[in-house]
């Protein structure tokens, strides 16, 4: 590689809500040359293909559909002087903020004085769930289904089954309607619907039967799905359908991080950060769903803005040394492995002038839990369930007591 | 207007790895060859799913036809892979003993390897084994190393063979199932779903249907296929660093056992099982077996327990009641059966093809080899090879997990052997075969295929 790669002040990897809002904010903070690298042909991230609401409430107090929201994020970034390079895939991260990219005109290296990893998260596909049967066409995650609705004249199926009841499963339900497909059933392997209250009523309102305690044991079909076998309380039965939408089970897009040897949180599978959003290599920062699978676009947008301010501070040398970080202490919720993760994972000695991007701890549970938790020396009462956002105030000093 | 009915020199029934290699060999020898494949794409039978190991034959039965074909096939692959731009990862294999009983069998297995002219096997102590494979479960007791066991691409190799046949005058007919035929003493007329077809010689390379084709054309068969299913779990590229070698168990009487090995694409696979079944069409996956494989992998490489599964698949071996390959020239019938190529066909294909060519010569097929045949250059899909995403003018990346470019996918759709199915496109390019399984690019890839097949 060249001895002197192109160097910019801030390099943002990923043009989703988190990356674009961070880029815009960095420019507004006087962050110098800000370049966004996006591997898709169009910037905007996941919302590009979400043909539904709600988007934009937190950002602009407006109810928007995903594509319009994505366009607006891009316009704001460009208006603020951000340069967005699409079809540019980051293929490796090197220490100190140098990254390898592959673009249509070939590979090269770019260095950012600070770099934001806003890589997003993806759903767990069928294979990783070890669902048996054959491997016909018509089995896909929600995002792929959405891409058909948003970008294609083809219809992947007409009568799918939807697996899962996280929030995103209801997006799948809505997207099926857009596509003119009629879901034959919605399946939840557990006893309860994962998404919150109002959504529980949606399947019935749309005339789609919802089966709890039901898992898929086999998918059938050769070229296309022609049915599935499900098991419910030890009883098996077949459901005729021509597709399966495998929803949720989000996991951070973390392959680059792992390959680079950046420390990951075994619970979130995203990077370990301090309260400024910095990774173990302090040239790198992170925001959005690569940290926490998953939050809403608005949440990621806000996080991007906050981390951008810390990146601007880093450019001015105003952040404390990263190696002062101590692990965040979380006690009480660890019985039965109930805690999935708590973020930020580490706390640095605070910098007086720089408000931390993460002034609250974000937690997720693996199992329902209610009881006393101690976070960074403070006690809190929580009662919550998996896939619910929990935030607790964080005093900036680790030894606050 | 009547067209003169054309008569081919050779009709090859079946475009698995064996049929593809035979078509290549006979075309290069100067024959006019037609390949008849009942499926919409080639490699849709046994050859669609295997462990992708290029075997040395170290553990094959001494003196068997299988051993001879595997070794001849190995040599030819070694000689031609660079010219075709096909990968060859000479990683070597370790045969691992996990119990005193297994340890006691290692010397005999090494003896067999030497008898099979694989004389470079090296015994290893526990310490030496762990030094070579530090991520291995420390319970391992001893091993031996087979340095020349290698990894190849199970799809680009047969593609290359058939493509070379097509570039040099061969013909492929897909969606063309053979149901019967008659031989008039000089010429075969085959009944196919695309009408009658005439050829001087017939090669039955119908894999899982080899016995049925024999019965349909000859009225009898000397073997009965009993499919043996093998299921696999494939781990993400992050896991590939956990093992350098192909990790083999001490084999049992019925199976080579569960293997842990990398793929040339940079994944790590665990499998296959060996499960007899009647069904010749469906290689069904069972969650329980997949979980067992996952656990088995983690027993051998403990760090695998935390790794992400990328893919699951299963294949059917064309096994039968006999142990050895069932290759026969049928006297007076101008026909050769290449049956029951059970578990080493990827390795032996080129050698099996050479053997079949010799048998056909014995039946009076007189070849006149091409003097300067065309050689196709395949798209390099192996992780260690020079990939298109690293080159300029690639039109950008389409599949990010496997780093497949738009140019590669368009080229595959524009090829004389262009895929007609999504599975076929995946085999040729690897698009959507990575950790996200199409979350990001699945729709774009399917649309590109639909455009090309609609056109
Ligand atoms: C099906 C679905 C429906 C949803 N519906 C809603 C909704 O109605 N309302 C709502 O608020 N939220 C919704 N969400 C959530 C919302 O879309 C996400 O929270 C938001 O997009 C996350 O933003 P992000 O920037 O973290 O990641 P993403 O939007 O995922 O953006 C990440 C970007 O990084 C790029 N990238 C990744 N790796 C690389 C690399 N190596 N090189 C270059 N670029 C790279 C990706 O291409 C992508 O563009 C939905 C999500 C899904 C999946
Ligand atoms: C689990 C597993 C692991 C393996 N691992 C390895 C390995 O690591 N290394 C190795 O060397 N080998 C391995 N093998 C073995 C190898 O895959 C097989 O030996 C090989 O694929 C057999 O190829 P074939 O061409 O004989 O059969 P097939 O691939 O089945 O080809 C036969 C073709 O004939 C077609 N056909 C059938 N009937 C008709 C008809 N009536 N008309 C027209 N066409 C017809 C079929 O559609 C098919 O395409 C493995 C196999 C399995 C299943």
How far from each other are the two terminal CA atoms of chain A, in whole angstroms? Answer: 51
Do residues B17 and B178 make contact, with C-beta atoms less than 8 angstroms apart? no
Q: How far is CA A243 from CA A239, A262, A307, B403, in A?
A: 11, 38, 40, 27
Query: pLDDT at residue A334 above 70?
Result: no
Confidence of residue A399 (pLDDT cuts 50, 70, 90): very low
Q: How many residues does chain A have?
A: 401
- Complete DSSP assignment for B123-145: EEEHHHHHHH-TTS-TT--EEEE
Q: Is B261 in the pocket of ligand 2 (CB under 6 A)?
A: no
Q: How far apart are CA B364 and CA A21, in angstroms?
A: 76
Give the rounded distance of the alpha carbon of B441 from its chain centre.
27
pLDDT number for residue B4: 59
Classify residue B50 by burial, with Cβ atoms within 10 Å: 0-12, 13-18, 19+: buried
Q: Is B217 in the pocket of ligand 2 (CB under 6 A)?
A: no
Q: How far apart are CA B118 and CA B59, in angstroms?
A: 9
Give strand pairing partners of A215.
A231
Buried b (16+ CB within 10 A) or exposed e, A272-306: bbbbbbbbbbbbbbbbbbbbbbbbbbbbbbbbbbb
Mutate to test the pocket of ligand 1, among A144, A163, A297, A307 (most ligand atoms within 8 A of CB): A297
Q: How far is CA B437 from CA A337, B198, B381, in A?
A: 29, 43, 17
Of A106, A255, A258, the CB nearest to B391: A106
Q: How far apart are CA B358 and CA B351, in angstroms?
A: 11
Classify residue A36 by burial, with Cβ atoms within 10 Å: 0-12, 13-18, 19+: buried
DSSP three-state, residue A96: helix
| CA of A148 vs chain B CAs: smallest distance (Å) | 6
Give this complex's ipTM.
Answer: 0.94
- C-beta atoms of A122 and B290 within 8 A: no
Do residues B42 and B174 make contact, with C-beta atoms less than 8 angstroms apart? yes
| CA of A84 vs chain B CAs: smallest distance (Å) | 15
pLDDT number for residue B3: 58
Q: Which of A102, A160, A154 is nearest to B422 (CA)?
A: A154
DSSP three-state, residue B37: coil
Classify residue A20 by burial, with Cβ atoms within 10 Å: 0-12, 13-18, 19+: buried
| CA of B256 vs chain A CAs: smallest distance (Å) | 24
DSSP three-state, residue A186: strand
How big is chain B by its Cα radius of gyration, in Å? 22
Do residues B351 and B73 make contact, with C-beta atoms less than 8 angstroms apart? yes
Tell me whether A48 touches chain B (CB under 8 Å).
no
Sign, CA dihedral B90-B118-B346-B260, equals negative
**Residue A19 Cα: closest atom of ligand 1:** 25
Q: How far apart are CA B329 and CA B190, in angstroms?
A: 18
Do the domains spanning B1-87+152-225+318-379 and B88-151+226-317 agree at the CATH topology level? no
DSSP three-state, residue A35: strand
Residue nearest to atom 15 of ligand 1 (CA): A296
Would you call the peptide bond into B100 cis, given omega within 30 degrees of 0 as the criterion?
A: no
Q: Please name the residue ranges forming H helices in B171-235.
A: 210-218
| CA of A349 vs chain B CAs: smallest distance (Å) | 33
Query: pLDDT at residue A203 above 90?
Result: no
Q: How far apart are CA B4 and CA B256, in angstroms?
A: 51
Q: From the CA of B226, how far away is ligand 2's center (Å)? A: 13
pLDDT tens-place string over residues B170-229: 999 999 999 999 999 999 999 999 999 999 999 999 999 999 999 999 999 999 999 999
Residue spans of the domains in chain B: they are 1-87+152-225+318-379, 88-151+226-317, 388-454
The two counts, helices (H) then strands (E), for chain B are 11, 21
Q: How far is CA A353 from CA A281, A310, A349, in A?
A: 22, 10, 12
Structural tokens at position A378: 């403070």
Which residue, chain included where needed, has tokens 């459901």?
A239
Confidence of residue A140 (pLDDT cuts 50, 70, 90): very high
Q: Is B269 in the pocket of ligand 2 (CB under 6 A)?
A: no
Q: Which of B209, B229, B256, B11 is nearest to B109 (CA)?
A: B256
Q: How far apart are CA A394 and CA A241, in angstroms?
A: 49
pLDDT tens-place string over residues B100-136: 999 999 999 999 999 999 999 999 999 999 999 999 9
Question: What average pLDDT is seen over chain A?
Answer: 93
CATH dotted code for B1-87+152-225+318-379? 3.50.50.60
**CATH superfamily to which B88-151+226-317 belongs:** D-Amino Acid Oxidase, subunit A, domain 2 (3.30.9.10)
Give the rounded distance of the alpha carbon of A288 from its chain centre.
6
Q: How far apart are CA A16 and CA A31, in angstroms?
A: 19
Do residues A390 and A365 make contact, with C-beta atoms less than 8 angstroms apart? yes
Q: How far apart are CA A71 and CA A282, in angstroms?
A: 31
Do residues B70 and B59 make contact, with C-beta atoms less than 8 angstroms apart? no
Do residues B233 and B290 make contact, with C-beta atoms less than 8 angstroms apart? yes
- Beta strands per DSSP E along B160-295: 171-173, 178-183, 188-192, 195-204, 228-235, 246-249, 259-262, 268-271, 275-276
Q: How far is CA B377 from CA A290, B157, B347, B390, in A?
A: 39, 11, 20, 17
Would you call the peptide bond into A54 cis, given omega within 30 degrees of 0 as the criterion?
A: yes
- C-beta atoms of A107 and B390 within 8 A: yes
Q: How far is CA A27 from CA A11, A146, A317, B170, in A?
A: 12, 32, 17, 62
CB atoms within 10 A of CB A71: 16
pLDDT tens-place string over residues A146-188: 999 999 999 999 999 999 999 999 999 999 999 999 999 999 9
Do residues A18 and A296 make contact, with C-beta atoms less than 8 angstroms apart? no
pLDDT number for residue B255: 74
Which residue, chain included where needed, has tokens 């005193």?
B100
Structural tokens at position A89: 């895939």
Residue B352 has φ and ψ, to the nearest 5°, of -60, -40
Q: Which of B325, B357, B326, B327 is nearest to B344 (CA)?
A: B325
- Beta strands per DSSP E along B147-187: 150-151, 171-173, 178-183
Q: How far is CA B392 from CA A105, A106, B64, in A?
A: 4, 4, 49
Torsion of CA B415, B419, B424, B427, to 10 degrees: 10
Q: Which of A78, A11, A21 is nearest to A300 (CA)?
A: A21
Do residues B71 and B363 make contact, with C-beta atoms less than 8 angstroms apart? no
By mean pLDDT, which of A96-100, A372-376, B390-394 is the weakest?
Answer: A372-376
How big is chain A by its Cα radius of gyration, in Å? 22
Which residue, chain included where needed, has tokens 């501070």?
A313
Please work out, in degrees rounded to the nearest 5, the angle formed at the alpha carbon of residue B317 by the alpha carbons of B313 and B321: 150
Give strand pairing partners of B142.
B97, B125
Structural tokens at position B2: 């009547």
Query: pLDDT at residue A333 above 80?
Result: no
Q: How far apart are CA B16 and CA B41, in angstroms?
A: 10
Find the ligand nearest to B46 CA: 2
Which residues of chain B fall short of a pLDDT of 70? 1-4, 254
pLDDT number for residue A400: 38
Q: Which of B156, B148, B385 is nearest to B266 (CA)?
A: B385
Interface of A with B in 118-137 (CB under 8 A): 122-123, 125-128, 130-135, 137
Confidence of residue A391 (pLDDT cuts 50, 70, 90): very high
Percent of chain A with pLDDT over 90: 81
Residues in chain B with CB shorter than 8 Å from the CB of A223 are 421
Question: B137 — alpha (psi -120 to 50), left (phi > 0) or beta?
Answer: beta
Pairing assessment for the beta strands A369-375 and A210-211 based on DSSP bridges: unpaired
Sign, CA dihedral B156-B157-B161-B167, equals positive
Domains, in order of start, for chain A: 6-122+251-400 (3.50.50.60), 127-246 (3.50.50.60)
Helix, strand, coil % over all residues of chain B, rounded to 5: 35, 25, 45
- C-beta atoms of A127 and B446 within 8 A: no
Structural tokens at position A194: 């994962």
Q: Is B345 in the pocket of ligand 2 (CB under 6 A)?
A: yes
Give strand pairing partners of B41.
none
């Amino acid at each position: 590689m060249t001895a002197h790669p192109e160097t910019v002040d801030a390099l943002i990897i990923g043009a989703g809500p988190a990356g674009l809002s961070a880029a815009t904010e960095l420019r507004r903070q006087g962050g110098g040359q800000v370049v966004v690298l996006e591997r898709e042909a169009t910037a905007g991230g996941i919302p590009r293909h979400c043909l539904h609401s709600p988007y934009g409430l937190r950002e602009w107090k407006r109810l928007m559909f995903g594509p319009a929201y994505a366009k607006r994020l891009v316009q704001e970034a460009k208006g603020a002087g951000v340069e967005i390079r699409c079809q540019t895939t980051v293929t490796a991260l090197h220490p100190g903020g140098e990254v390898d990219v592959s673009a249509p005109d070939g590979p090269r290296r770019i260095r950012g004085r600070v770099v934001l990893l806003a890589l997003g998260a993806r759903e767990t596909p069928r294979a990783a769930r070890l669902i048996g049967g054959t491997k016909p066409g018509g089995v896909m995650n929600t995002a792929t289904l959405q891409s058909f609705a948003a970008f294609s004249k083809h219809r992947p199926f007409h009568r799918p089954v939807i697996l899962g009841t996280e929030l995103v499963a209801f997006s799948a339900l809505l997207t099926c309607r857009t596509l003119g497909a009629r879901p034959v059933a919605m399946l939840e392997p557990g006893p309860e619907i994962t998404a919150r209250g109002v959504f529980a009523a949606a399947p019935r309102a749309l005339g789609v039967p919802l089966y709890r305690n039901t898992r898929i044991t086999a998918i059938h079909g050769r070229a296309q799905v022609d049915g599935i076998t499900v098991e419910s309380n030890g009883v098996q039965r077949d459901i005729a359908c021509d597709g399966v939408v495998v929803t949720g089970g989000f996991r951070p897009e973390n392959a680059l991080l792992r390959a680079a040897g950046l420390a990951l949180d075994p619970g979130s599978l995203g990077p370990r950060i301090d309260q400024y959003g910095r990774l173990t290599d302090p040239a790198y920062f992170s925001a959005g769903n690569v940290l926490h699978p998953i939050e809403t676009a608005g949440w990621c947008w806000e996080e991007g803005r906050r981390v951008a301010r810390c990146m601007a501070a880093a450019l001015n040398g105003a952040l404390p040394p990263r190696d002062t970080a101590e692990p965040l202490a979380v006690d009480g919720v660890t019985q039965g492995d109930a805690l999935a993760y708590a973020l930020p994972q580490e706390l640095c000695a605070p910098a007086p002038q720089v408000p931390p991007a993460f002034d609250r701890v974000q937690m997720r549970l693996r199992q329902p839990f209610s009881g006393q938790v101690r976070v960074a020396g403070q006690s809190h009462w929580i009662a919550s369930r998996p896939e619910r956002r929990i935030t607790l105030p964080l005093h900036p000093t680790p030894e606050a007591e | 207007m009547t067209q003169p009915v054309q008569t081919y020199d050779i009709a090859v029934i079946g475009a698995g790895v064996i049929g593809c290699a035979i078509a290549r060999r006979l075309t290069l020898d100067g024959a006019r060859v037609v390949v008849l494949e009942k499926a919409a794409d080639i490699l849709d039978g046994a050859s669609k799913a295997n462990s992708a190991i290029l075997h040395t034959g170290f553990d094959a039965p001494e003196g068997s036809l299988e051993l001879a074909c595997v070794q001849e096939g190995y040599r030819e692959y070694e000689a031609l892979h660079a010219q075709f731009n096909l990968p060859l990862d000479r990683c070597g294999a370790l045969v691992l003993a996990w119990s005193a009983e297994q340890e006691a069998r290692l010397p005999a297995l090494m003896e067999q390897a030497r008898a099979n002219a694989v004389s470079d096997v090296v015994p290893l102590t526990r310490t030496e084994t762990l030094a070579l494979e530090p991520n291995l479960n420390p319970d391992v007791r001893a091993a031996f190393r087979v340095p020349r066991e290698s990894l190849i691409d199970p799809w680009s190799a047969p593609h290359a063979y058939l493509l070379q046949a097509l570039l040099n005058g061969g013909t492929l007919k897909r969606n063309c199932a053979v149901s019967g035929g008659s031989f008039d003493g000089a010429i075969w007329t085959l009944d196919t779903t695309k009408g009658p077809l005439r050829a001087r010689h017939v090669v039955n390379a119908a894999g899982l249907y080899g016995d049925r084709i024999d019965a349909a054309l000859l009225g009898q068969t000397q073997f009965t296929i009993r499919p043996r299913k093998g299921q696999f779990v494939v781990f993400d590229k992050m896991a590939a660093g956990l093992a350098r070698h192909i990790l083999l168990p001490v084999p049992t009487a019925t199976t080579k056992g569960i293997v842990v090995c990398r793929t040339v694409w940079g994944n790590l696979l665990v499998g296959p099982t060996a499960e007899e079944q009647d069904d010749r069409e469906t290689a069904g996956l069972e969650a329980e077996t997949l979980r067992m494989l996952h656990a088995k992998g983690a027993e051998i490489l403990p760090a695998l327990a935390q790794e992400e599964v990328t893919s699951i698949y299963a294949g059917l071996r064309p096994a039968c009641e006999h142990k050895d390959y069932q290759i026969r020239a049928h006297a007076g019938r101008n026909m050769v059966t290449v049956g029951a190529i059970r578990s080493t066909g990827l390795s032996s294909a080129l050698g099996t093809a050479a053997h079949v060519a010799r048998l056909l010569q014995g039946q009076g097929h007189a070849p006149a080899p091409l003097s300067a045949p065309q050689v196709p250059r395949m798209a390099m899909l192996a992780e260690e090879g020079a990939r298109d995403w690293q080159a300029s003018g690639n039109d950008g990346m389409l599949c990010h997990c496997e780093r497949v470019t738009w140019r590669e996918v368009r080229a595959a759709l524009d090829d004389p052997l262009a895929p007609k199915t999504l599975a076929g496109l995946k085999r040729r390019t690897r698009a959507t075969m990575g950790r996200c399984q199409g979350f990001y690019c699945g729709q774009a890839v399917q649309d590109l295929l639909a455009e090309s097949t609609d056109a």
